[in-house]
Structure 1
Amino acid sequence: MPSRRLLFAGLASGSLVALAGGCARGRSSPPADADGCRAPGELVEFSSVAGARLYYAESGKPVVQRIQPAFLAQLEAWALDWAEVSGYGPVLEITSFGAFVDKCGSFHQLGRAFDLAQIRQEEAAVSARFDEWQPGRSQQLRDYWRLAASLQLHFNYTLCYPYNDAHLNHIHVDNSISGSDFSEFNQNSRVQVQLVQHTLRHVFDLPTPDTGVFDDVTRDALRQVQAAAGIHAPLRNAAGWHAYLRAAARG
């Protein structure tokens, strides 16, 4: 199994299809009690992500938050990857609703979750505040779903505005499912299928439903993108899934 670092290098160089095997998942987490509460391990303070200053969405001011160190490293790997693939330059500021929150039933309680509201880059700002700009112009929606695809690559558990009203103002990511690995596709996951459908619609301009069902219409649109991008592996193959997400993130 290739390490995350080696796989990241392969993705960056475009050698996606050669990495045909999936990675074993790293789902290590402390057991929850009867109320779904977990005791966090080591937490560190952070005020930036890969050099991008961190701001709190509620106040708009710079903030120091707490996070698990390994999860912070994953966020930083994502930020560097997005800066390259987006074409918008380095990430300068990240606005968030938080990382560690002492709340039972959530990976925020372990410092292994992050709620992203907006990022500002050298050449553009990308907002996940669907609550502020819905239903959205085509460019807003395109950037939103490009960003979501980039996050989904690094974090299997990526929740966007179609999930529920609580996610209208941010994109939630955590590593509860994929651990330290990249994500894998599950066609029975409503969340992942909706991400595919929305990227097909808003990034690639192909009419698709918003059902969360991996139906024939979705598959037909997906095949068009795969053919145009030279992606030969299916989504159920890790390399095919990663290739699609990177194509969507590039836009």
Structure 2
Amino acid sequence: MSGDTQRDEGVGTPPGPAAPRPLMSRRRLLSLGAVGAAVAGGAYAVSPGHGLPSLPRLPGLNEPTPAELRIDPQPVDYPELQGRRRIGPAAYVYEVSGRAATYYVTEPFGRRLDRWLALHRRHIGQAPDELRSFGAWVRGSSTSWHSSGEAIDIARLRADGRDLTSLRYDQWRDAPATELRRRLALYWRTAAGLHHEFADVLTYLFDAAHGNHIHVDIGRFGPEQPRLIRRSNAQVQAVQAMCRHVWGRTDVEITGDFDDVTRDATTRILEQAGGPGELADSREAWQAFMVATMQRG
């Protein structure tokens, strides 16, 4: 699982003058080439005509899934990236300062963010005009996808000056039981949309450092859409949390182990949603589960 190992203080404004542009790395060639041709993938229930950005479909959706990428992040300086001030129609705001800012990502990663927010609007029904973040690009760490412009930390979605969804678990984890249930359900419905689009999604279950945001990147699969990797604690824990907090399957324990109880619960949810097969069978089943979870109001 790709890490989120570097803090993001001051990401909204690049420090100092621009450094000379580095040579194009293998990672950058992959991102700018392959992702441009296939960033969206075949998505369950999100084909063009449903109000989402029209993006190409990956060939062979039901064919055996490709192996994971084994490519380390390739740090770049911000002039190599696209400076953006919005995600979809929502203004980007740096959570620390509360001010609108510019963030820096690869162009394909920016398009993936736009697509995620369109997915959120369609299936959760929220239309944020502001997205608050702890940052995207940071300088120089070869252990973090932030340094390659292919990661972001999302804190809150807001509209008309109020929160629609808070991913700040640190601020509401001690809320009264009824309020906590409501916030957890919305948190994990929002996380489902992120898991639909991004390979690595790190929540408060991953570690304490992610208690105030959800980190996403595409390091594990690059241009490919995500699928379930049974050994991924982050993915399996998230699925188990969705079963408990969204679907009311309190028999599912959050262990990170894709056990028989978890398999049974997710299979029944997919059957209820009219999705294909079992969760671990295909990328399409993974997407179907995430769409159904988003829609579970």
User: Counterpart in 2 of 1:60?
Assistant: 98
Contact in 2 for aligned 1:28/1:179 (Cα 8 Å): no
TM-score, structure 1 length as denominator?
0.86
Which of the numbers 164, 174, 183 marks the counterpart of 1:125? 164
CA 155–98 in structure 1, closer or farther in 2 if over 3 Å, else same: same
DSSP 3-state at the match of 1:198: helix
Matched, 1:69 2:107: yes
User: Counterpart in 2 of 1:241?
Assistant: 286
Q: Where do 4+ consecutive residues of structure 1 move more than 3 Å?
A: 2-6, 21-29, 121-124
User: Counterpart in 2 of 1:38?
Assistant: 75
C-alpha distance in structure 2 between counterparts of 1:75 and 1:249, whole Å: 16
Residue segments in structure 2 that go unaligned for 5+ positions in a row: 1-36, 51-59
DSSP 3-state at the match of 1:147: helix
Contact in 2 for aligned 1:233/1:239 (Cα 8 Å): no
Contact in 1 for aligned 2:266/2:278 (Cα 8 Å): no
CA 53–221 in structure 1, closer or farther in 2 if over 3 Å, else same: same
Let me know the Cα RMSD of the aligned residues: 2.5
C-alpha distance in structure 1 between counterparts of 2:182 and 2:88, whole Å: 26
Residue segments in structure 1 that go unaligned for 5+ positions in a row: none
C-alpha distance in structure 2 between counterparts of 1:22 and 1:55, whole Å: 40
CA 196–5 in structure 1, closer or farther in 2 if over 3 Å, else same: closer
User: Counterpart in 2 of 1:213?
Assistant: 257
Number of aligned residue pairs: give it.
240
CA 232–44 in structure 1, closer or farther in 2 if over 3 Å, else same: closer
**Aligned amino acid, residue 203 of structure 2:** C
C-alpha distance in structure 1 between counterparts of 2:199 and 2:232, whole Å: 11
CA 152–218 in structure 1, closer or farther in 2 if over 3 Å, else same: same
CA 182–135 in structure 1, closer or farther in 2 if over 3 Å, else same: farther
User: Counterpart in 1 of 2:19?
Assistant: none
C-alpha distance in structure 1 between counterparts of 2:271 and 2:163, whole Å: 30
CA 27–19 in structure 1, closer or farther in 2 if over 3 Å, else same: closer
User: Counterpart in 2 of 1:85?
Assistant: 123
C-alpha distance in structure 2 between counterparts of 1:28 and 1:47, whole Å: 31
Deviations 1:80-133 (A, max 9, x none): 111111122x23110000010114110111111000000125796101000000
Q: Which has the larger radius of gyration?
A: 2
User: Counterpart in 2 of 1:7?
Assistant: 42
CA 202–135 in structure 1, closer or farther in 2 if over 3 Å, else same: farther
CA 62–247 in structure 1, closer or farther in 2 if over 3 Å, else same: same
